[in-house]
């Protein structure tokens, strides 16, 4: 992937694994309008040709913050119309992120507040530095979460705890996030990105159609009743039967070697 962006950095780690870094460390990787455009452009590119990538790891530049949320200096003095125009861009970005067929692992290296916490919640799962902190602070600023926070947090940790977090705006630790099921793994701060990349490599080594279809089945299946979800799963499963990767996987198992998946 050779496209360049102003506020995010994309590194190709080979064989379909990308490291996507929010790159405004001088202001805690706060999300301004340009970062909204850059993330929207990135995910639209991925979504238009998902077979070209196999896994994405998302992190923040520097040691202090994953993302501090919206850039409030840029927002200072905005008219209502300008604010809503900017937020529409952020909404489009969040929808493109949520709709990404390729797995996205969050490597939360520091503070993930407000919109930054929402970005983390949009990931398929999260590894966090043990020193990281999270918060949805929007109600302390006269607004509310508007990039999926009121929907993704309750789905991750339950409605009652999510209400407490969102309605108080109170920060919580990575350890608490781990205990509540929002974070999958706690890492040493200097290891969080590498551990996420190691898991990303494991995902990227698997059959890419199978990975995308499994993610698709989970994402939509949990929004259905169980019987409908089981039928949806079978529709996703049947997509694999005629693929070369399915045949290669069985052959490699019987030949006692690592499979060579090609995404077809």
CA distances from 151 to 79, 103, 111, 121 (A): 27, 19, 21, 10
CA distances from 4 to 11, 102, 124 (A): 10, 20, 24
Residue 194's nearest CA partner among 17, 15, 2 is 17
Q: Are the CB atoms for 230 and 224 separated by under 8 Å? A: no
DSSP helix/strand/coil, 136: coil
Catalytic residues: 118, 138
Distance CA 161, CA 152 (A): 12
């Amino acid at each position: 992937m050779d496209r360049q962006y102003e506020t995010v950095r994309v590194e190709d780690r080979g064989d379909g694994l990308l490291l996507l870094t929010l790159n405004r460390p001088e202001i805690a990787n706060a999300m301004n309008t340009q970062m909204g455009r850059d993330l929207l452009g990135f995910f639209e590119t991925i979504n238009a040709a998902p077979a070209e990538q196999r896994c994405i790891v998302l992190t923040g530049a520097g040691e202090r913050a994953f993302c501090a949320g919206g850039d409030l200096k840029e927002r200072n003095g905005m008219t209502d119309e300008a604010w809503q125009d900017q937020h529409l861009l952020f909404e489009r970005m969040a929808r493109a992120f949520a709709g990404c067929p390729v797995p996205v692992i969050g490597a939360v290296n520091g503070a993930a507040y407000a919109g930054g916490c929402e970005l983390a919640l949009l990931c398929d799962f999260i590894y966090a530095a043990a020193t990281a902190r999270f918060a949805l602070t929007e109600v302390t600023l006269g607004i509310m979460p508007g990039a999926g926070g009121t929907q993704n947090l309750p789905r991750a940790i339950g409605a009652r705890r999510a209400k407490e977090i969102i309605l108080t705006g109170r920060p919580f630790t990575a350890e608490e996030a781990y205990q509540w099921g929002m974070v999958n793994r706690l890492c040493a701060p200097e290891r969080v990105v590498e551990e996420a990349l190691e898991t990303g490599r494991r995902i990227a080594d698997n059959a890419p159609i199978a990975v995308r279809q499994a993610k698709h089945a989970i994402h939509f299946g949990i929004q259905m009743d169980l019987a409908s979800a089981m039928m949806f799963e079978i529709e996703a499963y049947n997509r694999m039967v005629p693929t070369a990767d399915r045949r290669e996987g069985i052959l490699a198992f019987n030949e006692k070697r690592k499979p060579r998946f090609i995404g077809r």
